[in-house]
Amino acid sequence: TVTDRERPREIQKARRLGAQILEVRIDRFRRLNEAYVLQKIRSLREIGLPLIATIRSRREGGGRDVSEEKRLHLFKKILPRVEAIDLELSSTRLRKILVGLARRQRKPVILSYHNFRSTPPDQALSRLILKGRKGGGDLVKIAVTPKRQEDLARFLLFTHRNRDQHLISIAMGRHGAPSRVLAPLLGSLLTYSFLNRPQAPGQLPLHRLSQELKVFSGKK
């Protein structure tokens, strides 16, 4: 995960450490005017890694309040310049507009859900996957907050059982930190890290995540 604060050489180092995709958290940019955002996207494209553009809503962990109209305008401008976008399941109006636009431009859409308080029951998690698929998501991202180790274990088991559902699984917070390493080994399609500062509770720095993934996956 990157913002507009990381320098190109830092991101190049991330690539050497094993980063394969850049999630661009535009909601955490210092400025959100169109020209500035597009210039930053152009700079990031020069790194040579695929870009996932995210303008996270405030209620689901965004860095600031950004109006729906502003988010929609920026997403429309950014879409041709990135490989995918991430949009909240709860952003119903934006989802209905942007999924269609993304389809026409053959860009994948991640539809995401964030719960910063708890880990819903498995039935509720299954309904989220179904809602995401019906809503046009190519991938569904579910981020939850375990309150105890048992919550994390259940969520990881859920991930494994649904590994064929194009799922991204994240457990946030202190109890969820191990999921950053374990979830991708159990079927989550992506895991997220950071270079300078975490963008979500429980994120591990990239150098540590890279080392632990190699250990747990048996790679040297």
pLDDT tens-digit map of 31-83: 999 999 999 999 999 999 999 999 999 999 999 999 999 999 999 999 999 99
How far is the C-alpha of 158 from the C-alpha of 167, rounded, in Å?
Answer: 10
Per-residue pLDDT tens over the stretch 178-214: 999 999 999 999 999 988 777 777 788 888 888 888 8
Contact partners, residue 180, CB within 8 Å, separation at least 6: 170, 191, 192, 193, 202, 203, 204, 209
pLDDT of residue 195: 81
How many angstroms separate the Cα of 17 from the Cα of each of 96, 162, 191, 219?
Answer: 37, 29, 14, 14
CB burial of 11-38 (b: ≥16 within 10 Å; e: otherwise) equals: beebeebebeebbbbbbbbeebeeeebe
pLDDT at 200: 77
186 — alpha (psi -120 to 50), left (phi > 0) or beta?
alpha
Token pair 């990135």: residue: 82
Residue 93 burial (10 A CB sphere; 0-12, 13-18, 19+): exposed
Burial label for 165, CB within 10 Å (0-12, 13-18, 19+), is middle
Instruction: Report the pLDDT averaged over residues 1-10.
Output: 90
Show which residues are catalytic. 114, 141
